[in-house]
Structure 1
Amino acid sequence: MSNYQDVIKELIKFRDERDWQQFHDSKNLALAISIEAAELNELFLWKKESQSDDVNIDKLKEELADVLSFSFLLAEKHHLDIFQIVLDKIKKNDEKYPVSKAKGTARKYDEL
Structure 2
Amino acid sequence: MNLQELTERLHQIRDNNDWRGFHSPKNLAMAASVEMSELVEIFQWLTEDQSRQLPPEQLAHAGQEVGDIVLYLLLLCSELGLDMDQVVRAKLADSERRFAR
User: TM-score, with normalisation over the residues of structure 2?
Assistant: 0.89
1:22 aligns with 2:24: no
- Rounded Cα–Cα distance in structure 2 between residues aligned with 1:51 and 1:57: 11
The match for 1:88 among 87, 90, 99 is 90
Q: Is the 8 A contact 2:39 2:62 kept in 1?
A: yes
- Rounded Cα–Cα distance in structure 2 between residues aligned with 1:16 and 1:61: 25
Structure 1 outlier segments of 4+, above 6 Å: none
**SS at structure 1 position matched to 2:43:** coil
**Higher-RCO chain (CA-CA 8 Å, sequence separation at least 6):** 2
- Rounded Cα–Cα distance in structure 2 between residues aligned with 1:92 and 1:58: 32
Question: What is residue 67 of structure 2 aligned with on the other side?
Answer: 65
Question: What is residue 10 of structure 1 aligned with on the other side?
Answer: 9
Displacement, 1:95? 2.7
Q: Is the 8 A contact 2:36 2:69 kept in 1?
A: yes
Displacement, 1:61? 1.4
Number of residue-to-residue matches in the alignment: 98
- Identity level (%): 34
Amino acid at match of 2:93: K
Q: Give 1 or 2: higher helix fraction.
A: 2
The match for 1:76 among 75, 78, 82 is 78
Mark the runs of 5 or more structure 1 residues left unpaired by the alignment.
Answer: 100-112
Q: Larger C-alpha radius of gyration, 1 or 2?
A: 1
Displacement, 1:57? 2.0
Describe how 1:34-73 pairs up with structure 2 within 5 A.
Answer: 34-55=33-54, 56-73=58-75
